[in-house]
Amino acid sequence: MGSTLKYKNFLTGIGGSTSNSFKINIGAQGDKMRIIYGFNYAKSVIEDKFYGTHNLSFRYILRSKNNCKK
């Protein structure tokens, strides 16, 4: 389960699950591009340890909702 909050051009999100994992996201969005950094923290199934991973996402928006024809 998770949630994302957008304020002006800034994005932030948080989430978790019942399998001992947790994630956070922060980012920014302009008219044509979005960049988001994420960190996931989860417990290994094989070992009894927690590990973290980093994610970086770039999105180029080809067409905005305002430019789409119906």
pLDDT digits (tens, 9 = 90+) for 1-16: 899 999 999 999 999 9
The mean of the pLDDT values for the chain is 87
In-domain check, residue 37: yes
* 21 or 19, which is more confident: 21
In-domain check, residue 68: no
Report how far residue 58's alpha carbon sits from residue 31's, in angstroms, rounded to the nearest whole number: 13
Domain that holds residue 20: 2-62
In-domain check, residue 67: no
Q: Which residue has the tokens 């999100």?
A: 13
Read off the pTM.
0.71
For 35, other C-beta atoms within 10 Å of its C-beta total 14
In-domain check, residue 70: no
- Work out how many domains the chain is built from and give that number: 1
CA dihedral 40, 45, 47, 52 (to 10 degrees): 0
In-domain check, residue 69: no
Q: Closest Cα partner for 19 from 54, 47, 44? A: 44
